[in-house]
Structure 1
């Protein structure tokens, strides 16, 4: 998603920006098991020579020889390791303006998500320009979505002029809890270039990521949403500075008038060097105003993006955005076999 249009409140309702890798990452080397402990030695008591027996009156009662025992000390159990964040899997969709996603009807939205096989959605939770957003909508959506097994992640568009301010807003979204006790399943930061209205520098992006991680802790899933790493973009955008604080990376692979397969392969190949789970975002909007082919991409392009994402090691795919996707796109997402993951509804609380 190209998010420049999110920069001001005057953005047109149908803007097309939004949050958006070629050999797959080699599987990590298996860690060798620790060596088996050496068996315990056998303790053999030493025998001291007895002095010559002397004749004494009466009977001499000899003491029983001491017995020796060998004890084995059981090593203490290894400390429990806290479970890390759960990385998204399957197919997802991005929500920019909730009122344009099934007209703001959360029941209808969850029903469509289930019908087409979505496993997760990203809902805008704020930006530097608009502040904290859509908490009332999340209060309605989260209980229904979780009951159906649908994950909900917040996403924010920071300007990076004041990273501390952007982190504070993000923390409010991450810590938000509904009356039902539901909360976001993770948080995505849409870290854009200056052409999208930000004050991006490598230093500002790194400060934002480090401060965000410190604010929300290691257990909170953080996803970095980054531009498509074309050769031109790599000359102006520091992926090295952006990515270290995050758990996964979601490149905005909007192919416009190019081949979706090649664009996706190139992006995932480049980003695989960082060793993070890959969550590419595909184009489900009309890219005509950005120099692309007019119209929403047809099903073959959607399928090609999904297929190559799978081939290059992605663990999930998603699309920008709900309000722009048309019927053929929804049908293409539904019919794609790759990334089809069954939903696991939230267990009902016992009465």
Structure 2
């Protein structure tokens, strides 16, 4: 194991180190004891990071669905960080590991909550002056729920980042979204709620809707469950927008800026927030992307599988494992899959499984 963990931030951002501290992993214990023995000059930074991780882990709220008020989060992070921060840290991104989440130690809204040091220390004093932004990031294979300052409730899917400013609900209600989230927006006619997602802009006053716009997708999907929303393209100077009605699903093609509207059972599109994934005639390539996010897995479509990228699948999953789902795909189409065990860092440590799907 080569020397690559020097400052506090290096240890904080290491999932392996978080697993060692939170889960007391025997495998990781041997690994880190050997590392610290080899590089004793890093022990101080490692110990400081350990105190921060344990400090964050001791926060209140103990389930993934607990809603945590934002000011409370800021105060808790500020208290822990100010207590242990190192003098080398100027703008620090805190990434509490998913192992805290899986251990049930901290609220899911805290998981991978990224807060810059300047925001944490100035949040209260500058709340109504200089706009500053913070973000909530939910990692692969996790989900979270939070309540915004205006009372809006948000369900956040895996690999999703949400950003908003400290002026939210005073001068504006603007959300930046990269990924997927379901919103139940608190009604306010005088202060419309905006979501900007990967090229699409959605305006609402009070409604329930889902937005899906990942950075590696060529489209943005907006599904309206209740109320009314207006959809437009970011940068469109014409002022034109499309109004959706409950039951509408709008798909914005980012390549040609065209919007298509379909009517369907929109509850299938929001089932993810209740722990289910519903696929209705979804192409294989898109199915695999969703499964990767849901299971924190790597799925490779190899060889002649490219000819089956657009093969549609219809199924629902709830408690099934990834191998069970891949078995189904192989029965429903001329596919087969194999597994390959790989090391996540080239050293002896946690093994990750790569699933290789190919045509048969």
Q: Indicate the TM-score class for this superposition, using the shorter chain for normalisation.
A: under 0.3
TM-score (norm: length of structure 1):
0.26
Query: Which structure is larger by alpha-carbon Rg, 1 or 2?
Result: 1
Higher normalized strand content (fraction of residues): 2
Q: Which has the higher contact order (CA 8 A, sep 6+)?
A: 1
